[in-house]
Chains A and B, each alone.
Chain A
Amino acid sequence: MKEERITIGRALKEGDLFTRLSALIMGAGLLGHRQMLKGILVFLIEVAFCLYMIMSGFHSLAQLPSLGTEAQGKVWNEAKQIYEYSTGDNSQQILLAGVVACFVIAAIAVLWVLQLRHSYALQRMVERGEKVPTLRDDIASLFNGNLHITLMSLPCLGILVFNVVPLVYMITMAFTTYSKEGGHLVLFDWDGLNQFVRVLNMNGNVGRQFWHVLAWTVTWAVFATFLNYILGMALAMVINRKDTKAKGFWRFCFVLSIAVPQFVTLMIMNIMLQPSGAVNVLLQNLGLITEPIPFWTNTMLARVTIIGINLWVGIPYTMLQVTGILQNIPAELYEAAKMDGAGPVRIFFKITLPYMLFVTMPYLISSFVGNINNFNVIYLLSGGGPTRVGDTAGQTDLLVTWLYKLTIDQQYYNLGAVIGIMTFVILTVVTLVTYRNSSSYKNEEAFM
């Protein structure tokens, strides 16, 4: 079986009657080559597919180019003396049905290829006089050689239905007029790249906000990731010092803060830093300040506060994660450096940091991605504010929180989708560039 690849072309050219027939009637090849039940099952799937296409599939696809034309109508019924409403087209449902239909067709195409190849393979087994696997054999192999099929079918189905389909659906929305702006919430149309132009155009109102938000998102992610990393590592090293007493106690103090659910801590921090919140009260009682500090209403201060609180949340995590890795650094490296007369600072920058960067690069990249998409911290702390009048994005909004506001609060679905796509593009570029330039990619054996 392994000596040659079975292609569709070969299967059609060299297949016998049953194999060729299965190009039209799916499952025929399996039925004809002693795999009755599987054949019937595949055939039933084809029947179900045909029924689906006739009942709604073709209709869904046909409506996809126009996304529906008929607005909800209101007709005066003379006899009953009332207005009668005709149900108009709902573009959002049409788009969803269309996307689903495309996925169903793609799935059936995959099944078509698989069953065709399989029936040709079976045909050759019959020709060579080999034993065709029975149903019992097939089921047994699902728990042995083909266990991955058993294990991964459901998870993959879940990902397909609740991640891939929604994603494609949202991406298509970026190319439509689906938005509260102009009242396109029920009936909307394809819009080409107009929304992308709007978002990228620096002179427009939306474009200006986009570049502002983008700049802050990147600044935030850089600060949040690297400050957390460096300071967390420093804390871990201070606690791990040979002379530090009661290591377990210190670690416990910091770890305690992770144990409280993050959204609870963030909401508490938000309240504590309000003008009449605990922090201002404490500082006023101590006589350090007279006026409350405007933590959330001053742009600069709000940004600094957010980064600071994120440090509070993040440093213990980093400490926890790097402790084990720090202890893995080969002691010879340190001894050699000491022999050469290097001081602690030099040792840190020449040995510890490069080693840590090398080992934790994947973690750093994923935490950078996590910070770009860090919804909770911004949403629960500042809610994106302070917001300038007329803007949808606040001064501390990240692309994700802006995306949330645009879709959930404002119902500008198309703009939201564009922002989502832009976030993805930025993340892809950042990930690829950092990963390609990182030493763990270039030189895999550096420290091994």
Chain B
Amino acid sequence: MDTQVAKNKLSPRRRVINLLVHALLAVLALIWVLPIVWIVLTSFRAEPGAYTKTFLPQGYTLNNYVKLLTDRNVLNFPRMFNNTLIISIFSCTISTFFVLSVAYSLSRMRFGFRKPYMNLAMILGLFPGFMTMVAQYFILKAMGLTEGSSIRIGLIVVYCACTGLGFQISKGFFDTIPRSIDEAAVMDGATQWQVFTRITLPLSKPIVIYTVMTSFMAPWVDFIFAKVLCRANASQFTVAIGLWNMLQKEYIYQWYTCFAAGAVLISIPIAILFLYMQQFYVEGMSGAVKG
């Protein structure tokens, strides 16, 4: 009886606990949201420089955004944006094809190379990614892809070449689609190619969207490969290198608030993509873990 009452009417003890929990959540949420608010405020700050005497800006302006989008002399943000957009459109197309192809083959087809491939992918994943970076640079150089505008091709190649190793989440998703659907289609005379393109892919919209978006985002957030490949070729810089450069000693005073503006500008689309994609991510994860 007592417990029944306690469940219907909150006991004082539970009320206190609830209050404490909500207070804790509020403090934590503040810690998590504050840096983001701060960067948004900084992007509208009127005073230049990275360091100011006050936490909140003294004056607000839109000039940082204007300067970022129109100044083409020192750090040409619009051109960096273009470079990154071109690179990411190409690499997104190619790597989506690679990832989904490999994932489908491993999930649905049975061939001798299947197990060795999966083991190899695991072993290759244990090597630090930067170990291959120098060698990749030498190989691209031998192919003549490290000078001028061919750097773009080099970057596209680097971003998609190894995506065939990142099949796990998609494969986990494909594994959850019942095979009986495939079998029924094969009975009706469909080839494996038709099963892949007409049945599996339409049924896997979440994971297709997830793959497209992650591969589209990769060139926007990678800066280390781009930095090694571009070196001093300012005309080929991507957005990430540009933002990184804005924080270097020679630029930081003039460009810090523009950096904040740039960070806000590229975060908005990525944030929207991410919040939209989050559901698929969770689905893919639980699929991958189960499989």
Contacts and interface: CB of A to CB of B under 8 A. Distances in A.
Nearest to A267: B247
A111 to B, nearest CB: 15
A254 interface: yes
B128 interface: yes
Interface string A145-184: 1011011101110110111111101100000000000000
A166 B136 contact: yes
Contacts of A376: 224
Interface in B134-173: 134-136, 138-139, 142, 157-158, 160-165
B285 interface: yes
Contacts of A362: 288-289
Contacts of A258: 274
Contacts of B217: 261
A272 B28 contact: no
Given A167-B124, A169-B138, A244-B25, A285 B131 contact: no
Contacts of B32: 253-254, 256-257, 312, 316
Contact of B243 (A165, A264, A404): A264
B138 A92 contact: yes
A35 interface: no
Contacts of B142: 93, 96
A167 B157 contact: no
A155 B124 CA distance: 14
A313 to B, nearest CB: 10
B255 to A, nearest CB: 12
Interface string A314-343: 001000110111001000000000000000
Contacts of A244: 18, 21-22, 25
Given A162-B158, A169-B138, A148 B243 contact: no
Contact of B109 (A96, A148, A169, A403): A148
Interface in A222-239: 235, 238-239
Contacts of A144: 191-193
Contacts of B160: 158
B164 A152 contact: yes
Nearest to A431: B126
Interface string A191-229: 000000000000000000000000000000000000000
A7 B162 CA distance: 33
Contact of A363 (B31, B38, B125, B289): B289
A282 B55 contact: yes
A245 B22 contact: yes
A interface, over-half SS:
helix
A250 B39 contact: no
B131 A151 contact: no
A243 interface: yes
A300 B138 CA distance: 38
A413 B267 contact: no
Nearest to B259: A267
B13 interface: no
A369 interface: yes
Interface centre among B128, B247, B278, B286 (most CB of A within 10 A): B128
A407 interface: yes
A76 interface: no
Interface string B181-194: 00000000001110
Contacts of B125: 369
Interface centre among B53, B134, B247 (most CB of A within 10 A): B134
A143 B18 contact: no
B135 A154 contact: no
A60 interface: no
A269 interface: yes
Q: Pick from A92, A257, A278 the residue with the most CB of B within 10 Å.
A: A278
A12 interface: no
Given A170-B132, A260-B271, A238 B263 contact: no
B283 to A, nearest CB: 8
Given A145-B192, A163-B124, A243-B14, A261 B130 contact: no
A152 B68 CA distance: 43
Contact of A427 (B126, B129, B132, B256): B126
A417 B130 contact: no
A163 B128 contact: no
B191 A170 contact: no
A423 interface: yes
Contacts of B267: 259-261, 264
A372 to B, nearest CB: 8
Nearest to A271: B50
Given A256-B36, A274-B51, A420 B127 contact: yes
Given A267-B259, A320-B278, 8 more contacts: A140-B191, A144-B191, A151-B104, A170-B135, A253-B33, A260-B39, A408-B134, A420-B131
Q: Please provide the 6 A-B residue pairs with the shortest distance between their CB atoms, ordered closest to farther.
A: A155-B164, A166-B135, A259-B271, A162-B161, A420-B131, A151-B101
27 contacts: A96-B135, A143-B192, A151-B104, A152-B117, A154-B98, A158-B161, A162-B132, A162-B136, A165-B135, A166-B136, A238-B25, A239-B25, A241-B21, A244-B21, A244-B25, A259-B274, A260-B263, A271-B247, A312-B31, A320-B282, A324-B285, A362-B288, A375-B128, A407-B134, A416-B134, A424-B126, A424-B127
